[in-house]
Amino acid sequence: MIDLKFLRDHPETVRASQVTRGEDPALVDQLIAADERRREAIAAADSLRAEQKAFGKKIGQASPEERPALLAGSNELKAKVKEAEAAQKAAAEEVDRLQMLLSNVVEGAPAGGEDDFVVLEHVGEPRSFDFEPKDHLALGESLGLIDMERGAKVSGARFYFLTGYGALLQLAMLNLAAQKAVANGFQLMVPPVLVRPEVMSGTGFLGAHSDEIYYLPQDDLYLVGTSEVALAGYHQGEIIDLSAGPKRYAGWSSCFRREAGSHGKDTRGILRVHQFDKVEMFTWCKPEEAAAEHQRLLNMERDMLAAVEVPYRIIDVAGGDLGASAARKFDTEAWVPTQGTYRELTSTSNCTTFQARRLQVRYRDDAGRTQTCATLNGTLATTRWLVAILENNQQADGSVLVPKALQPFLGREVLEPVK
């Protein structure tokens, strides 16, 4: 949720952010009005409580003859205080409700929707083939790496088995990501994949896209679509020590997404599936450090993508395509030869103080005062990377060259078709 003081001081900035996102700017005025009613309700309740306290002293000093009439007045005042406190509570709840509806304030992202991103950089050249390249599923099946048919038999559409060297290739990629994260000062974590509603809501995932999330009503728990959620909840309600610099975590977990509304899109192969594995970076830092930390996470993604030897581009995601918690997001998209286009492999988001305010995570500044932290996240490797690795490294004989950085984990340089 956004800072109410910032909202009061900069309402035009928040309205402009709503417009950039393609969301309703009228929500800003509704929240400002609700905040004003809340403050008026607090003042009214405080005034009545002060009057009640003074009246109590008056009763204590009254003569026996005066006391019955004063006690009757006290009961009337007590009822007014109770009514004012109820009004104060209702006003506060309305502010909370509206705050939870308002997305984070966009910082620097272009306006528009999914197609209005800005390309910031191209890295590597798309490869020219002197043969007809196969897509990742044809390669995965011929090499004995992917079994979609049995995945569907066991679990339904958009599930799969990674088999043999397919499983080893994913483990190699994730292990490399984990090593790079640890070498860069991230604490490796294997977090829970089931979280409570307040944690899922606190990270901003129970808004417009809540239908993407698997929910277990009997246990009142959600399956995470990214370990960002559990890592954000790790310090819920705490005052953390940032005096030595940001706290950085890297979560290795399975992730789950319903892919609601994506019927007919990317149904072939493992590009858009219900379950996948991922190494996700997550940072807690001071707000003034967040922009630099965002670039740090992006540079780590650059390093990882260079290691798996795929051409990619970096885009600045438009405001209308940002999640509710992100103020700005950069995506890296790899070239997929058989699709003739770039497809998202990673993203990194600066969520400023939005998530930490919801989850009540703070730090102490140099003066010892508590302040709200900033949070950032970024993907360092995930299952869909196999799509780009296989397609970009295939050979005319149907084999696939293993990127050099992954060879030590697999113990071989080439993956060959199974007989």
Amino acid at position 340, single letter: G
Tell me whether residue 379 is annotated as binding.
yes
Whether 361 contacts 240, CB under 8 Å: yes
Whether 150 contacts 161, CB under 8 Å: yes
Tell me whether residue 347 is annotated as binding.
yes
**Separation CA 11–CA 257 (nearest Å):** 35
Q: How many CB atoms lie within 10 A of CB 249?
A: 23
Tell me whether residue 20 is annotated as binding.
no
Tell me whether residue 228 is annotated as binding.
yes
Tell me whether residue 122 is annotated as binding.
no
Tell me whether residue 227 is annotated as binding.
yes
Tell me whether residue 12 is annotated as binding.
no
Tell me whether residue 416 is annotated as binding.
no
Strands 239-240 and 362-364: parallel
Q: Six-digit token pair at 393?
A: 């490294």
Tell me whether residue 10 is annotated as binding.
no
User: What are the percentages of helix, strand and coil residues in the chain, rounded to 5?
Assistant: 45, 20, 35
**Separation CA 337–CA 127 (nearest Å):** 8
Tell me whether residue 338 is annotated as binding.
no
Tell me whether residue 377 is annotated as binding.
yes
**Closest alpha carbon to 346 in 392, 391, 312, 393:** 312
Active-site positions read 257, 272, 344, 347, 384
Its sign, for the CA torsion 135, 137, 138, 140, is positive
Annotated binding site for ATP: 257-259, 273-276, 344-347
Annotated binding site: 226-228, 257-259, 273-276, 280, 344-347, 377, 379
Annotated binding site for L-serine: 226-228, 257, 280, 377, 379
